[in-house]
Structure 1
Amino acid sequence: MSRTLIVVGLLIALAGLLWPWLSKLPLGRLPGDIVIERENLTVYIPLTTMILVSVLGSLLLWLFRR
């Protein structure tokens, strides 16, 4: 359990360091992401982005468990 927490912490730190470059990726603005804009309200539902991240995460976990 402690090893897993260390790995997760390192991954979060790495993502934080790489954030300036990661924010330039088109994730969050993919076709299929839902944006509803009204006068005083903006609702953003990143449906396609969530599915893509889930598939990539599942693939990575599957590869590391082999």
Structure 2
Amino acid sequence: MSIGKILIFVGIGLFLLGLILSYAPGIFSWFGKLPGDIRIQDENKYIFIPITSMIIISLVLTLVINLFFRR
């Protein structure tokens, strides 16, 4: 697959993600609110570490990449 085709697919994917986030923002409302996501809030600072959310996103992306790019 050439770099041009990859850039086209990435662009289309970003466009579709933008449409989804614009017209249906509630779809990703779970992000950052799962058990295992760490939130530390103090008077002057706020620390957020989305461990569980990142693990789920990593698993989904791994499955998608393996489905489309496996030889």
TM-score by length of 2: 0.83
What is the match of residue 36 of structure 2? 32
Structure 2's unaligned 5+ residue stretches are none
For 1:44, which of 48, 52, 55 is the aligned residue? 48
- Equivalenced residue count is 65
The one-character-per-residue Cα deviations of 1:34-58 (angstroms, maximum 9, x if unpaired) are 1000001101111111110000000
* TM-score of the superposed pair, with normalisation by structure 1: 0.89
Higher relative CO (Cα under 8 Å, sequence separation at least 6) belongs to: 1
* 1:61 equivalenced with 2:60 (yes/no): no
CA-atom RMSD in angstroms: 1.1
Partners of 2:68 and 2:49 in 1: CA distance: 30
TM superposition outliers: structure 1 runs of 4+ over 3 Å: none
Identity level (%):
40
The alpha carbon displacement at 1:28 in A equals 1.6
> Which ranges of structure 1 fall in alignment gaps of 5 or more residues?
none
